[in-house]
Chain A
Amino acid sequence: GNSVTQMEGPVTLSEEAFLTINCTYTATGYPSLFWYVQYPGEGLQLLLKATKADDKGSNKGFEATYRKETTSFHLEKGSVQVSDSAVYFCALRNNNDMRFGAGTRLTVKP
């Protein structure tokens, strides 16, 4: 079946620190992979996506590369800001089967 496992939080970093949130997946076939971000009181928003092996998704300084050999899609950012504090969800879509990880809460301190 399809599933997503992501790094448990919470993660607390100082401003300008490097961020990595690990995500691995299990799927049949060739799913598309996504990272979503959720700010307090809001729904999930798409952050970036990758649709095939070796694709790199990027947005707002965040990046993730679709690694089929390691079934991973780790989220990275070189220098986090206080405004990046939110909950981050890794997700995969295999046709209409959409699976989300448990979410990782990130807090960035000034």
Chain B
Amino acid sequence: DAGVIQSPRHEVTEMGQEVTLRCKPISGHNSLFWYRQTMMRGLELLIYFNNNVPIDDSGMPEDRFSAKMPNASFSTLKIQPSEPRDSAVYFCASSRTAKDSPLHFGNGTRLTVT
């Protein structure tokens, strides 16, 4: 079990640039979640997918954020244009659909926007 794989681990970019974060969920998991973690706001759910379909994107901060899941083994979170307040650690997590299934988290992408 390779676990949830996120890339890159660290991303430093300048304000206004496009940022793409990538996630490979655990094989066989059909739910995928994107979270953002900051000291001020803690862990925030941005969006989750079920069977590759976005179910709830109410946590996406604004139109600059978009997420896709073109197939069961890959998802992206894109920020365009990026702003300094987007600096945070972004986590991807996957799980089976059953409500007693825990989420499995990747190690996160630390994004710094200067």
Residue in A49, A95, A98 whose beta carbon sits within 8 Å of that of B33 in the complex: A98
Report the interface size class on chain B. 20 to 34
Cβ-based interface call for B45 (8 A) = yes
With a cutoff of 8 Å between Cβ atoms, the chain B residues found around residue A96 in the complex are 31, 48, 50, 55-56, 97, 99
Cβ-based interface call for B42 (8 A) = yes
With a cutoff of 8 Å between Cβ atoms, the chain B residues found around residue A31 in the complex are 99
Cβ-based interface call for B103 (8 A) = yes
State the B residues within 8 Å of A (CB).
Answer: 4, 31, 33, 42-43, 45, 48, 50, 55-56, 91, 93, 97, 99-108
15 new A-B contacts at CB < 8 Å, known A51-B100, A96-B97: A32-B99, A34-B102, A42-B108, A44-B91, A44-B103, A46-B102, A49-B102, A93-B100, A93-B103, A95-B99, A96-B48, A96-B55, A98-B33, A98-B103, A102-B42
State the A residues within 8 Å of B (CB).
Answer: 31-32, 34, 41-46, 49, 51, 89, 93-96, 98, 100, 102-103
